[in-house]
């Protein structure tokens, strides 16, 4: 861990709990930390008994997960992938859990021996999808547990595209997302996010299904840095006190004094 002392990048600044969550989920294919406590105690989930061999195996597995987490190559490669998606500043990232699971996915696919290009594309797309939809904002542990189990049982090549199709349908891009963030500048972010999600080939060539303003129909983001950094989505503000642009003018006498321009014959105040 000596390299951490010289690490100044704050895109991903995990806490101790984040490290445990990522290490446990990526190594044990479970998403609930209460299961980690049970496994370290030697609990056999099938027989409901406690066994010393399970405790020893669990401690060894957790140690390997932590070592994978703090590996300098793994960590810096993951941060580079997040930056390549356009998230170049911590203020642009609104979900720490989305980052945690993206790192889990990176370690999982790397452990399966996937190609580097395929890993980068999968992690980039999954992170953008989860950040846009708030996938891990409600019950993160339950969602972590579901996603990692499905990826383990079906494989990411099956579960990933099915999830993208379900969460990010045409109705989401064309109606739900623009209506939620209805300002002209956000169209550029929507187009860029859609380009990251919609992959044409495994080497990272991105194709936007519907041409967006300011976005090229064919765009590659794998080997080039972000051309335009991501823009934060607007925050909800109270709209019940809109500013008065022009005061209301009513007919009849009033007590408002109007000054005539200097230089006219009748320059005195008029009531």
Furthest-apart CA pair in the chain: how many Å? 104
Question: Closest Cα partner for 105 from 157, 42, 183?
Answer: 157
126 within domain boundaries: yes
User: Which residue has 């623009």 as its token pair?
Assistant: 178
Radius of gyration of the chain (CA): 27
How would residue 144 be classed by pLDDT, with cut points 50, 70 and 90? very high
Residue 176 domain boundaries: 72-220
Greater model confidence, 259 or 224: 259
Answer whether residue 221 shows pLDDT above 50.
no
pLDDT at res. 243: 53
Least-confidence region, from 71-75, 102-106, 107-111, 178-182: 178-182
Measured at the CA of 120, the angle between CA 58 and CA 31, to 5 degrees, comes to 30
Q: Give the mean pLDDT of 230-240.
A: 48
- CA quadruple 175, 178, 179, 184: dihedral positive or negative? negative
90 within domain boundaries: yes
pLDDT at res. 194: 63
39 within domain boundaries: no
Bridge partners (DSSP) of residue 207 are 218
Tokens representing 76? 């810096």
130 within domain boundaries: yes
Q: Which residues, in sequence order, are CB contacts of 8 under 8 Å at separation 6+?
A: none
Kindly report, residue by residue over 150-175, the tens digit of the pLDDT. 999 999 999 999 999 888 887 877 77
Least-confidence region, from 15-19, 28-32, 99-103, 190-194: 190-194
Answer whether residue 101 shows pLDDT above 50.
yes
pLDDT at res. 74: 94
Kindly report, residue by residue over 50-72, the tens digit of the pLDDT. 999 999 999 999 999 999 999 99
The pLDDT mean for the chain works out to 76
pLDDT at res. 220: 39
140 within domain boundaries: yes
CA atoms within 13 A on the CB side of 2: 0
Number of domains in the chain: 1
pLDDT at res. 1: 66
Dist. CA 200–CA 198, nearest whole Å: 7
Q: Which residues, in sequence order, are CB contacts of 241 under 8 Å at separation 6+?
A: none
Q: Give the mean pLDDT of 245-251.
A: 54
Determine the straight-line distance between the first and last CA of the chain, rounded to whole angstroms.
Answer: 79
Q: What DSSP string runs through the chain?
A: -GGGGG----SS---HHHHHHHHHHHHHS---HHHHHHHHTTEETTTTEE-HHHHHHHHHHHHHHHHHHH-HHHHHHHHHHHHHTT--SGGG---HHHHHHHHHHHHHHHHTT--HHHHHHHHHHHHHHHHHHTTTSSSHHHHHHHHHHHHHHH-HHHHHHHHHHHHS-HHIIIIIHHHHT-STTHHHHHHHHHHHHSBSSTT-EEE-SS--TT--SEEE-SSS--SS---PPPPP---SSPPPSS----SS-----BPPPTTSS--S-B-
pLDDT at res. 224: 42
Kindly report, residue by residue over 194-218, the tens digit of the pLDDT. 666 654 333 333 333 333 333 333 4
Cβ-contact 197, 219 below 8 angstroms:
no
Kindly report, residue by residue over 29-51, the tens digit of the pLDDT. 999 999 999 999 999 988 889 99
How would residue 91 be classed by pLDDT, with cut points 50, 70 and 90? confident
Q: Give the mean pLDDT of 8-22.
A: 89
Answer whether residue 27 shows pLDDT above 80.
yes
Least-confidence region, from 154-158, 204-208, 243-247, 260-264: 204-208
pLDDT at res. 147: 95
How would residue 149 be classed by pLDDT, with cut points 50, 70 and 90? very high
pLDDT at res. 206: 36
């Amino acid at each position: 861990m000596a390299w951490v002392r010289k690490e100044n990048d704050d895109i991903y600044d995990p806490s101790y709990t984040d490290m445990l969550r990522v290490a446990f989920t990526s190594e044990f294919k479970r998403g609930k930390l209460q299961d980690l406590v049970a496994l370290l105690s030697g609990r056999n989930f099938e027989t409901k008994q406690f066994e010393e061999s399970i405790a020893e195996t669990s401690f060894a597995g957790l140690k390997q997960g932590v070592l994978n987490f703090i590996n300098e190559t793994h960590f810096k490669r993951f941060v580079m992938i997040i930056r390549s998606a356009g998230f170049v500043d911590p203020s642009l990232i609104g979900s720490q859990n989305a980052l945690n699971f993206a790192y889990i996915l990176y370690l999982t696919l790397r452990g399966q021996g996937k190609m580097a290009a395929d890993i980068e594309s999968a992690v980039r797309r999954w992170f953008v999808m989860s950040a846009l939809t708030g996938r891990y904002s409600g019950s993160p542990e339950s969602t972590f547990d579901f996603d990692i189990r499905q990826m383990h049982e079906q494989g990411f090549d099956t579960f990933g595209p099915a999830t993208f199709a379900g969460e990010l349908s045409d109705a989401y891009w064309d109606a739900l997302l623009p209506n939620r963030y209805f300002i002209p500048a956000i169209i550029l972010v929507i187009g860029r996010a859609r380009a990251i999600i919609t992959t044409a080939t495994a080497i990272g060539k991105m194709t936007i299904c519907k041409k967006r303003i300011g976005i090229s129909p064919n765009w590659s983001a794998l080997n080039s840095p972000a051309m335009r950094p991501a823009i934060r989505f607007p925050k909800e503000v109270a709209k019940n006190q809109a500013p008065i642009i022009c005061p209301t003018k009513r007919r009849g006498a009033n007590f408002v004094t109007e000054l005539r321009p200097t230089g006219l014959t009748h320059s005195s105040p008029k009531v």
